[in-house]
Amino acid sequence: MIDPTEFWLLAPEIFLAVAAMLLLVAGSIGRGVRNRPAAAVALLSLVATALLVLWAYGKGGSSEAFLAGMFVLDSYALFLKLLLLIATGLTVTISGRFLEEGGYRPGEYYSLILFAATGMLFMVSGYSLLSIWISLELMALSSYILAGYFKRERKSNEAALKYFILGALSSGVLLYGISLLYGATGTVHVGELAARLGDLVSTGEQPILIAVGWLLLAIGLYFKVAAAPFHVWTPDVYVGAPTPVTAFLASASKIASFAILIRILFEALPALKADWQLITALVACISMIWGNLAALTQDNVKRMLAYSSIGHAGYILIGVLCASEEGLWAVLFYLLAYAFITLGAFGTVIILEQREYAGETYSDYAGLARRSPFLAASMLVFMVALTGIPPTGGFFGKFYLFAAAVEAGWIWVALVGVLTSAISLFFYFGIVVQMYLKPSEDTTPRPMPAVGLASTIAICAIVTVLLGLVPGPLVELAKASLIPLP
């Protein structure tokens, strides 16, 4: 039986859900709310939720699961929740222009973002496969709707349809895996699952159910983090979805999916460590190679960023497969750095892009340095960071990941990582060349970013550089946010 006072520790999630509902109802009455106030309410509630997260952690943070073993509030969850709230907040600030120009209702848009964030918060704290799965579905469902939010544009519609179909298939696969693991162990609680699996593996019972079960579960999760060869949905969805939503999918949604991937592999399947390390290594290498090679041939910047995001899923998986302390904090560090870099890069894309696909190609960046030195400089920072060159957070992120891999004995994976990073130089610097070396076309108007958008890009660029100059504090923070190793 659950002690009702435990619900106080859910205050952040409950608050965020209530805020989303208020925004929803307010946005539906009469002509609805306007963009600015709606964004302000969404931002304020995200800040308040972050404060509540800190409060709840101070009140009852521990690595013990509660609410009948459904929910855990450990330092790992704390770190990721704050990161997710930051990423969601930055998504809110880059969304305004799109909504105003498209004439879509902002109330529903922001409330769907907040609902997705609620699902993510529950995901990182989930300690039962049932609660993890249902909150994953909450996030996914909100994301499907957001991807199709610009329903007057055919590409947004098709992106939503594709995302929905492959997303639903991947949750089906994931669920099938969960059902087989349940059949082998009789539980869906993460801690109990680990214990029973340990017994079963040592006595050699139910090998088939366990093997097929964890493999399907892992494939479902690789799907969600967009790792190759389970990435088929990513390029089309990233290109077709409204760009702020793409930024949201590439940052917050990816972080939350990685959070549950790590939670499940580390805490539920430690008995199968050797198996999942190998598979994860393969997936990581395929993602890095495929993502970076495919990005070479793109001339649409959004599509390039989509393939780059597949490659980066591979880099992050390197840290996961190490199953070591160094690997885990390197992943947390990288997730944070990557969130700022991605959101900044997509923010820049938003400023340049116009209707349909206009403004998304490499040649649209020609001479940007003269048209808008600020935009060009920030895009330069993001491209440098994505390549992994100092002095940016991207450099230290990759450096820590590769170092962890070498230390854990996965030298060949680290080698693939270094080589593919070298390849990535070509397509990231393709944009830089366009911006700084190609002459500007006079016909293109000088982009005038809105205040919210410009300040978001500035913040992202500053944080990216800061992380490259003084990574120490964040490393300490990440080191304090680990979960038990398998």
Partner 1 sequence: MMLEITTTHYLLLSAVLFAIGAAGILVRRNMITVLMSIELVLNSVNLNLIAFSYQLSDLTGQIFAVFTIAVAAGEAAVGLGILIALFRLLDDTHLDKATELHG
Partner 2 sequence: MFEFLTTSGPALLFYLFALMAVAGAVCVVSMRNPMYGAIGLLVCFLSIAALFLLRHAEFVAVVQIFVYGGGIMVLFLFVIMLVNLHRLHETTMLGNYWRTAFVVSLALVAIFGFLFLKVEFGPSFEDPSKFVDALEPGMGNSEAVAWKLYREYLLPFEIASVFLLVAMVGAVVLGRRA
Partner 3 sequence: MANYLPILVFILVAVLFLAASLIAARLLRDAGMGRTNREPYECGNEPETLALDHRFSIRYYLIAVLFVIFDVETVFLFPWAVMFDQLALFGFIEMMIFIAILVVGYIYVWKRGALNWA
Q: Which residues bind partner 3 (CB under 8 A)?
A: 2, 4, 17, 21, 24-25, 28-29
- Is residue 328 within 8 A of residue 485, CB to CB? The reply is yes
Nearest to partner 1 of 219, 349 (CB atom): 219
Partner that binds at residue 67, options partner 3, partner 2, partner 1, none, CB closer than 5 to 8 Å by kind: partner 2
Measured from the CB of residue 137, what is the shortest distance to partner 1 in angstroms? 5
Query: What is the C-alpha separation between 64 and 52, in angstroms, rounded?
Result: 19
Q: Is 152 in the site for partner 1 (CB under 8 A)?
A: yes
Tell me which amino acid residue 479 is: K
DSSP β-bridge partners for residue 73: 62
The half-sphere exposure of 160 on its side-chain side, counting CA atoms within 13 A, is 19
CA distances 52 to 15, 46, 65, 78, Å, are: 8, 10, 19, 11
3-state secondary structure of 62: strand
Q: Is 432 in the site for partner 1 (CB under 8 A)?
A: no
Partner that binds at residue 118, options partner 1, partner 2, partner 3, none, CB closer than 5 to 8 Å by kind: partner 2
Among the residue ranges 66-74, 242-250, 272-280, 323-331, the one whose residues contact partner 2 (CB under 8 A): 66-74
Q: Is 165 in the site for partner 1 (CB under 8 A)?
A: yes
Partner that binds at residue 168, options partner 1, partner 2, partner 3, none, CB closer than 5 to 8 Å by kind: partner 1
Q: Is 215 in the site for partner 2 (CB under 8 A)?
A: no
Closest-CA residue to 461 (of 248, 241, 469)? 469
| Eight-class DSSP state of 126 | B
Measured from the CB of residue 135, what is the shortest distance to partner 1 in angstroms? 11
Partner that binds at residue 186, options partner 1, partner 3, partner 2, none, CB closer than 5 to 8 Å by kind: partner 1
3-state secondary structure of 361: strand
- Is residue 126 within 8 A of residue 73, CB to CB? The reply is no
Q: For the chain, how many residues are written? A: 486
Q: Is 112 in the site for partner 2 (CB under 8 A)?
A: yes
Nearest to partner 2 of 184, 414 (CB atom): 184
CA distances 136 to 13, 117, 147, Å, are: 14, 10, 16
Query: What is the C-alpha separation between 173 and 218, in angstroms, rounded?
Result: 9
Task: Say how many C-beta atoms besides its own lie within 10 A of residue 109's C-beta.
Answer: 28
Measured from the CB of residue 483, what is the shortest distance to partner 1 in angstroms? 24
Measured from the CB of residue 1, what is the shortest distance to partner 3 in angstroms? 8
Q: Is 168 in the site for partner 1 (CB under 8 A)?
A: yes
Q: Is 212 in the site for partner 2 (CB under 8 A)?
A: yes
3-state secondary structure of 241: coil
- Angle made by CA atoms 86, 126, 109, in degrees to the nearest 5: 45
DSSP string computed for 327-352: HHHHHHHHHHHHHHHHHHHHHHHHHH
3-state secondary structure of 359: coil
Tokens read off for 322: 């190490």
Select from 8, 101, 186, 484 the one that contacts partner 1 (CB under 8 A). Answer: 186
Q: Is 421 in the site for partner 1 (CB under 8 A)?
A: no
Q: Is 355 in the site for partner 2 (CB under 8 A)?
A: no
Residues lying near partner 1 in the complex (CB under 8 A): 130, 134, 137, 141, 144-145, 148, 151-152, 154, 157-158, 160-161, 164-165, 168-169, 172-173, 175-176, 178-180, 182-183, 186-188
Residues lying near partner 2 in the complex (CB under 8 A): 1-2, 17, 21, 24, 67-68, 70-71, 108, 111-112, 115, 118-119, 122, 128, 130-131, 134-135, 137-138, 141-142, 144-145, 148-149, 151-152, 158, 160-162, 165, 206, 208-209, 212
